[in-house]
């Protein structure tokens, strides 16, 4: 008999694998300098832009992009199957994904259900697999996000996206298979209505949520994974059992980016919404003091930590640990990021100096897929694919 418990069990097993195999940090380095504009061995290449037309019906929006990216998505879905099968060798879970995951999970809210159906049909990848692929991202994004404010009140928001799956190391070149494949799926998306940009995001083709994005002249938003004992698996289980009032985190950020009208409104929604899994929301605005890290349990907001330039708090840094707790020693990206920020000083904040920080090991590591730099006020949005050549930490 297949049931929801199996799914939960596998998700749990995967999360433990993800956090539990991290190794002691052997490869750290002094704050990097002169890395920008990106070049050299830590720069893999640019990220292609695609427009997503929100005036089209949800089913049709992703068609062009997905037709383009179908072969790569197929490969990564197969890797995902291998991982799931390795964790559940009887094959039951994969049968469930193939057979009736979409039935078990029930309907997703508009526009996500139709968008995923459209993606499934455009790629000939089953809807169950597309849904599983979308859930994957909810659970495994390790990251570093930073918001800074300079002396003139100008804000910058930057992030590294690290994909937190350590399974599937390629023995022949020691690269992480999934991380490598995700680089091929990484796209910049320009979501448009009436032929005008509504928001921009960096995403993986096939994923309909948003983990990194901005709304020109309004706000910027990134999500970091938060591991919690009151974790996401309960939320996923409740969802399966029919309690559908909670939001998937990648979906709530997409909604906020698409339909949000101000920093304050976005902050309110992200603080109050019921979530399926715990998360950190890192939200930046356009005026002095508009920058915060929202630490979320599924139902409650535990902490809203804001910029406060008058009190000398000119940056906020968030990785995957609550700020009032020490990071795990072997996974500490917070301390080096803070140290490098202090060295840059508030006088010298720029895309260039922040890219330097995000290029410093272990903030840059083998799981890092891309670096995004956002300037809401001047409408600048840049994303770069990253590499971290040996010796580099892969957890």
Closer to ligand NAG by Cβ: residue 348 or 379: 348
- Interaction between residue 92 and ligand NAG (CB under 6 A): no
Residue carrying structure tokens 């890192």: 282
Q: What character string, x for contact with ligand NAG (CB under 6 A) and - otherwise, covers 127-166? A: ----------------------------------------
- Interaction between residue 111 and ligand NAG (CB under 6 A): yes
Closer to ligand NAG by Cβ: residue 271 or 308: 271
Q: What character string, x for contact with ligand NAG (CB under 6 A) and - otherwise, covers 331-370? A: -----------------x---xx--x--------------
- Interaction between residue 378 and ligand NAG (CB under 6 A): no
Tokens of 101: 């995951």
- Interaction between residue 179 and ligand NAG (CB under 6 A): no
Pick the binder of ligand NAG from 188, 255, 295, 360 (CB under 6 A): 255
Closest CA to 266 of 210, 228, 308, 318: 210
Can you say whether residue 55 is alpha, beta or left, with left for phi > 0 and alpha for psi between -120 and 50 degrees? Answer: alpha
Rg (alpha carbons) of the chain, rounded to whole number = 20
How far is the C-alpha of 345 from the C-alpha of 271, rounded, in Å?
30
How far is the C-alpha of 360 from the C-alpha of 358, rounded, in Å?
6
- Which residues lie below 8 Å from residue 143, measured CB to CB, with a gap of 6+? 159, 160, 161, 162, 222, 223, 224, 225, 319, 320
Is-catalytic flag, 31? no
Compute the least distance from the CB of residue 138 to ligand NAG, in Å.
Answer: 16
Tokens of 244: 């559908």
Compute the least distance from the CB of residue 246 to ligand NAG, in Å.
Answer: 15
Dihedral angle computed from the Cα positions of residues 55, 58, 61 and 63, in that order, rounded to the nearest 10 degrees: -150
Length of the chain: 395
Residues 18, 31, 143, 388: which is the catalytic one?
143
- Interaction between residue 229 and ligand NAG (CB under 6 A): no
Pick the binder of ligand NAG from 22, 53, 70, 346 (CB under 6 A): 70
User: Do 273 and 300 form a contact (C-beta atoms < 8 A)?
Assistant: no
For ligand NAG, the binding residues (CB under 6 A) are 33, 70, 99-100, 103-104, 110-111, 123-124, 170, 172-173, 177, 195, 254-255, 258-259, 348, 352-353, 356
């Amino acid at each position: 008999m297949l049931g929801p418990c199996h799914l939960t069990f596998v998700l749990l097993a995967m999360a433990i694998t993800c956090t539990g195999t991290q190794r002691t940090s052997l490869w750290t380095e002094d704050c990097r300098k002169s890395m920008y504009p990106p070049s050299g061995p830590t720069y893999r290449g640019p990220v292609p832009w695609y427009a997503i037309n929100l005036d089209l019906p949800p089913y049709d929006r992703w068609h062009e992009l997905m037709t383009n990216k179908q072969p790569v998505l197929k490969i990564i879905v197969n890797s995902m199957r291998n991982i799931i099968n390795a964790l559940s060798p009887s094959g039951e879970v994969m049968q469930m994904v193939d057979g009736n995951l979409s039935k078990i999970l029930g309907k997703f809210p508009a526009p996500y259900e139709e968008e995923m159906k459209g993606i499934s049909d455009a790629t000939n990848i089953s809807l169950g697999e597309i849904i599983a692929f979308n859930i994957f991202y909810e659970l495994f994004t390790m990251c570093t996000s930073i918001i800074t404010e300079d002396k003139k009140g100008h804000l910058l928001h930057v992030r590294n996206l690290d994909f937190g799956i350590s399974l599937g190391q390629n023995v022949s070149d020691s690269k992480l298979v999934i991380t490598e494949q995700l680089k091929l799926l990484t796209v910049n998306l320009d979501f448009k209505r009436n032929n005008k940009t509504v928001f921009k995001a960096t995403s993986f083709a096939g994923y309909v949520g948003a983990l990194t994005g901005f709304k020109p002249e309004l706000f910027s938003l990134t999500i970091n994974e938060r591991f919690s004992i009151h974790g996401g698996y309960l939320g996923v289980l409740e969802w399966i059992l029919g309690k559908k009032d909670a939001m998937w985190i990648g979906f709530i950020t997409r909604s906020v980016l698409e339909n949000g009208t101000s920093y304050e409104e976005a902050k309110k929604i992200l603080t109050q919404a019921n979530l399926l899994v715990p998360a950190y929301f890192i939200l930046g605005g356009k005026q002095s003091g508009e920058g915060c890290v929202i630490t979320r349990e599924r139902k409650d907001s535990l902490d809203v930590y804001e910029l406060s330039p008058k009190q000398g708090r000119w940056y906020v840094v968030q990785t995957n640990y609550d700020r009032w707790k020490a990071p795990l020693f072997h996974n500490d990206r917070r301390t080096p990021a803070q140290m490098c920020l202090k060295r840059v000083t508030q006088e010298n904040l720029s895309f260039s100096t922040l890219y330097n920080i995000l290029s410093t090991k272990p903030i840059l590591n083998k799981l890092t897929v891309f670096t995004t730099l956002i300037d809401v006020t001047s409408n600048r949005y840049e994303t770069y694919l990253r590499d971290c050549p040996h010796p580099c930490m892969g957890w």
